[in-house]
A = this chain, B = another copy of it.
Amino acid sequence: MSWCVTASMCISRYLTGFLYFTSINFVLTFVAAILCVCFAPTAAGPGIPEIKAYLNGVDTPNMYGATTLIVKIIGSIGAVSAGLDLGKEGPLVHIGSCIASLLGQGGPDNYRIKWRWLRYFNNDRDRRDLITCGASSGVCAAFRAPVGGVLFALEEVATWWRSALLWRTFFSTAVVVVVLRAFIEICHSGKCGLFGEGGLIMFDVSNVTVSYHVMDVVLVVVIGIIGGVLGSLYNHLLHKILRLYNLINQKGRLHKLLLSLAVALFTSMCQYGLPFLVKCTPCDASLPGSVCPTNGRSGNFKQFNCPPGSYNDLATLLLTTNDDAVRNIFSTNTPQEYQPMSLLIFFVLYCILGLITFGIAVPSGLFLPIILMGSGYGRLLGIYIGPHTNIDQGLFAVLGAASLMAGSMRMTVSLCVIFLELTNNLLLLPITMIVLLIAKTVGDSFNPSIYEIILHLKGLPFMDANPEPWMRNLTVGELVDVKPSVVTLQGVEKVAKIVDVLKNTTHNGFPVMDDGVVPPVVGQANGATELHGLILRAHLIQALKKKWFFKERRKTENSEVIERFTWVELAEREGSIEGVIVTSEEMEMFVDLHPLTNTTPFTVLESMSVAKAMILFRQVGLRHLLVVPKYQASGVSPVIGILTRQDLLAHNILTVFPHLAKSKGREKRN
């Protein structure tokens, strides 16, 4: 766009540009939103909280299907290219997990390949491992940060961690980065558009020699504190806005769609309109003409509405891709490039956009909006403090971004490595570490991390790593006392009883007991009760579906079972009792539950504290925990209760034992 001659010509040209810009963004957002609203509501948002919950043991339905995957890919492309204030990192993490899940189960639900070796992945642990690898590959692809990806999966996403998983995720990201490197090489000629810009290092700031003194550390501490405060403030406000959005979204699909489109319109208008408010800056005379102003390619110094030989600094930040905006604001050795006014407008605008964009019905990531906000205030700070220090303004922007990330997301090691891999400046490491730790500490004193807030908003029963202190004063015996009494089954049970139990309870596991057995050691104690194990609802349904009934009460051979039930069927977790038809004749028959029972359930004594039971539950990754009596006598049931995830959640316990909440404050450490 060259400089126009008359004012009216200018205005009409700007209007044409505005219409093009806004309408293209509108259409792109519309495509992204309509796909998410109509086909895969789970594809909206980042998906990271749901993945975190899945790895903790909470499944969200339709999260890893083929539809979700396709919608997420197209939707993310649409939303990002519409210039909305959102990133592609969250969606890429989700995409990675979807692909991993689909590969592991042999394809989408309806067209699943049932090869024999696939059964190795057909258990919860391997499925979790695959999804963890997928998530780390996603981060790696988003930031071209292989080690950062591994650490992100470790620090933020995973609940259980094994040494083997560490190098498996590492392997996944190694493959990603090699493939990425190959693509960048192929695209070296520049035929792939913006792909490969920045090579493997997206926002290189390694050309600045970092030199700082002890006094600069004080400054770094200040940035960290501001980042922590702003980060927790952001979390707080986003929480409010997401609750408001939830109310709007509940009104129906149309409301969801309109909300997304309104945000898109507002974004486009601000991005196009606000640059007119700032003054043009003349180009630095020392720069060659090809560098400033920039037209028709990405880079600093956008000309936009300015006369030749000058540039519009706000347009440089707004009228570009988000990646380029970060690159421009991180740019080093350009102390005069931005006016404080432009940076202030930029910061305020992205604060507003960051808050209103996240909750709309398109695939959206949190990383980039926070980096943009943080770099805005960082660089602004740099302009005012810059003269008193020799830290470059671009590095101020980097530190600001890091501090806001840590203040909002509360990660440390993974963010540190991601920033290292993004900026390729190892000398920055010590001050980045300080900024991250301070921002995290400050933020933690106000509210939980953004992902925990979202998890709570979505109502996912996430199980925290550490039990609350008051949990030590409650025994599991007291906890099962207030629950309805446990439903147990006999080793060889009547069909009628099983159907009854399945229809009238929602439990997923039932203890199996045998009465009147003779224990091998103590001969005289005839009529002992034996706890045989735990049977899953899914397996009871399988037994009913297969009509695996006997006329008489009898035990079966193992071989009979292997004939009837394949590994695919036993790994199946879906299916409901409604779909099973049992005749009244069959109701009087028997099922031998012994072969289908898990004979090695984890148990705790009734005198065990809830805190320790919770540690066991989470560390070993359980779904059911049997409570056994501490008394040994005939007439006592060998199982007095069964605990599930819901029973051990702090929130649920407090609704039953409200007095414990009061003692919460008093004794933090016993």
Contacts and interface: CB of A to CB of B under 8 A. Distances in A.
Contacts of A615: 620
A167 B440 contact: yes
A607 B421 CA distance: 51
Interface in A205-261: 206, 213-214, 217
Interface in A195-210: 199-201, 206
B167 A605 contact: no
Interface stretch (A276-284, A325-333, A359-367, A595-603): A595-603
A200 B445 CA distance: 32
Nearest to A639: B632
Most B CB atoms within 10 A — which of A429, A465, A620?
A429
B426 A421 contact: yes
A420 B147 CA distance: 10
Contacts of A174: 430, 433-434, 437
Given A603-B605, A607-B600, A417 B147 contact: yes
A3 interface: no
A216 to B, nearest CB: 11
A163 interface: yes
A170 B413 contact: yes
A60 interface: no
Given A426-B200, A440-B167, A629-B519, A531 B605 contact: yes
B631 A519 contact: yes
B636 A525 contact: yes
Q: Which bucket holds chain A's interface residue count? A: 35 or more
A588 interface: no
B616 A620 contact: yes
**Count of this chain's copies in the oligomeric assembly:** 2
A323 interface: no
A645 interface: no
Contact of A632 (B440, B528, B612): B528
Nearest to A607: B599
B150 A413 contact: yes
Contacts of A607: 533, 599-600
A155 to B, nearest CB: 6
A669 interface: yes
Contact of A604 (B154, B214, B602, B633): B602
A178 interface: yes
A574 B5 CA distance: 92
Most B CB within 10 A of own CB, among A162, A171, A173, A174: A174
Interface string A385-420: 000000000000000000000000000110011001
Which residue, of A120, A199, A527, A632, has the highest number of chain B Cβ atoms within 10 A? A632
Nearest to A444: B167
Contacts of A533: 607
A608 interface: yes
A146 B434 CA distance: 12
A517 interface: yes
B465 A163 contact: yes
B178 A430 contact: yes
B616 A608 contact: no
Interface in A81-107: none
A274 interface: no
Given A182-B214, A615-B620, A524 B635 contact: yes
B413 A181 contact: no
B602 A616 contact: yes
Contacts of A600: 475, 605, 607-609, 612
A468 interface: no
A443 to B, nearest CB: 12
Contacts of A177: 429-430, 433
Contacts of A608: 600, 602
B163 A185 contact: no
Contact of A529 (B147, B602, B632): B632
Contacts of A635: 522, 524-525
Contact of A630 (B154, B170, B433, B530): B530
Interface string A628-659: 11111111111000000000000000000000
A619 interface: yes
Interface in A160-180: 161-164, 166-167, 170-171, 173-174, 177-178
11 contacts: A167-B437, A170-B412, A177-B429, A185-B213, A199-B427, A522-B631, A525-B635, A600-B607, A615-B620, A632-B637, A634-B634
